[in-house]
Amino acid sequence: MMQAEDRKKIKLSVSSSKGVAEEYCLRYLGEEKAIAVPLRLFTEAQSFPPSRSGFKAGMRLEGIDPLHPSMFCVLSVAEVIGYRLRLHIDGYSECYDFWVNADSADIRPAGWCESTGHKLHPPKGYNEVEFNWEKYQESCNAPAAPQNLFKSHNSTTSTTKFQVGMKLEAVDRKNPCLVCVASVADIVDNRFLVHFDNWDDTYDYCPYIHPVGWCQDHGRPLTAPQGHPNPEHFLWEEYLEDNGSTAVPSQAFCMRAPHSFQVNMKLEVVDRRNPMLVRVATVSDTEDYRVKIRFDGWHEKFDFWVDSDLPDLHPVGWCARTGHTLEPPLCEFTTPLCVCVCAHICEGMGHIKGAKYTGHHRATLSGYEGAARLRGRPPANP
């Protein structure tokens, strides 16, 4: 069995040279007679970053809890790999750590919540009202991440026509067959938080939201809010009047164009079960706004669907350009590249059963006191 030091040397030999990595990508495309997803099909958040990340381990910041999108919490940079950050929720176990790109729209500089009127959930043991960033940094002896590092937020102008409190109809992404009564709960930049009335929170956007009356116009059932006195005969006019609310104007809904990804195109994708890894991947199927991903060399049963604009999708060469190790395809013949992957699997780093730092811990409840809750959803078959 290969020793840890040997595996380390192989790993370094694969990842140490940007030129070698880029050459491997081109060679692999040629051997597979494959086409890389064209760069123009990627969003700005997916494409090559204009500069290196300036984040360093230990820096403090604010950001959205991935499992509770309405919560902004105190974070620290636990690890930096290339253009990617492992973020730690201060005051809680490292099993809640999660990964984002350095230009993620979900992270903000320290003090952002206070300046924008958003509620900040402080580290465990700190009082929400009395929490003070300056004193906290002094006690931790840790600097705040400089504001200029937050690339997504240099512009503060919002052009959205949505307003907090407005009503709409939204697809439940956990149960896509359901379209539910929903509200605009928050607006940040040109994004907004969709709240399923009397259910849990989730971020959503154009392909998954519709104006009031969409279900009726398209012959789709609309799921009424939980506890509604007459769910089988839900009427928008009555609901809006009873709640003193208004509908989002229909002209506010701008459907983005379907993507142009094609089956068999190659790209680099974050392993969602072990997000510290980025793997060679292939588009195995497509829908208008989603793509099905297969990690090269993996069985098709591990394929998974994602939105085409997911920030975890990247063009071929992204890892080499940003200084991140690229996990090559699983293959039958033995080469240093293949041994490297097998070593990962043996160590549990790349195993399909999971890893130390998943996007979040697999527990049902969050670590937050007073905010821990099951993610309520209408049943799939009510």
- pLDDT band, residue 174 (cuts 50/70/90): confident
Determine the pLDDT at residue 30. Answer: 76
CA distances from 139 to 130, 131, 132, 143 (A): 14, 12, 11, 11
Q: What is the pLDDT of residue 157?
A: 53
- C-alpha atoms less than 13 angstroms from C-alpha of 13 in its C-beta half-sphere: 12
In the CATH hierarchy, which top-level class contains the domain 60-150?
Answer: mainly beta
Residue 114 token pair: 């206070």
Provide the percentage of residues in the chain whose pLDDT is more than 70: 76
| Residue 220 predicted with pLDDT over 60 | yes
**What is the mean predicted confidence (pLDDT) over 49-60?**
95
Residue span(s) of the chain under CATH 2.30.30.140 come to: 4-49+259-347, 60-150, 167-248
How does the average pLDDT of the chain come out, rounded? 80
What is the average pLDDT across 302-328? 95
- The enclosing H or E element of 31 equals helix 18-32
Give the model's pLDDT for residue 21. 61
% of the chain at pLDDT higher than 90: 57
Quick one: pLDDT band at residue 151, thresholds 50, 70, 90? Answer: confident
276 Rama sector, left if φ>0, alpha if ψ -120 to 50, beta otherwise: alpha
Residue 107 has pLDDT above 90, yes or no: yes
* Structure-model confidence comparison of residues 275 and 344, the more confident one: 275
Residues in contact with 213: Cβ distance below 8 Å, sequence separation at least 6, in sequence order: 169, 236
Question: According to the model, what pLDDT value does residue 200 have?
Answer: 58
Higher pLDDT, 196 or 345: 196
| 357-375 as b/e: b if 16+ CB within 10 A | bbbbbeeeebbbeeeeeee
Domain 4-49+259-347 annotated CATH 2.30.30.140: yes
Asked if residue 267 has pLDDT above 60, the reply is yes
Confidence band of 181 (pLDDT split at 50, 70, 90): very high
CA distances 13 to 16, 53, 336, Å, are 6, 23, 8
The average pLDDT across 197-218 equals 75
Q: Of 57, 114, 115, whose CA–CA distance to 88 is shortest?
A: 57
Does the domain at 167-248 match CATH 3.40.720.10? Answer given as no
Per DSSP, the three-state class of 79 is strand
Give the pLDDT of residue 254. Answer: 82
Residue 345 is predicted with a pLDDT of 44
Please indicate whether residue 192 or residue 353 has the higher confidence score (pLDDT).
192
d(CA 157, CA 162): 14
Q: Residue 381: is its pLDDT beyond 90?
A: no
Give the residue with greater pLDDT, 148 vs 381.
Answer: 148
Give the integer Cα–Cα distance in Å for 209 and 170. 4
Query: Rg of the chain's alpha carbons, rounded to an integer?
Result: 22
The stretch 43-51 carries a mean pLDDT of: 94
Tell me the pTM: 0.78
Q: Is 197 helix (H, G, I), strand (E, B) or coil?
A: coil
Q: Does position 100 have pLDDT exceeding 80, yes or no?
A: yes
Which residues touch 23 (CB under 8 Å, ≥6 apart)? none
Q: Which residue bears the tokens 């089988």?
A: 232
**Which position has the token pair 């149960």?**
175
Q: What separation in angstroms does the CA of 21 have from each of 203, 311, 337?
A: 35, 22, 11
Helices (runs of H) and strands (runs of E) counted in the chain:
8, 18
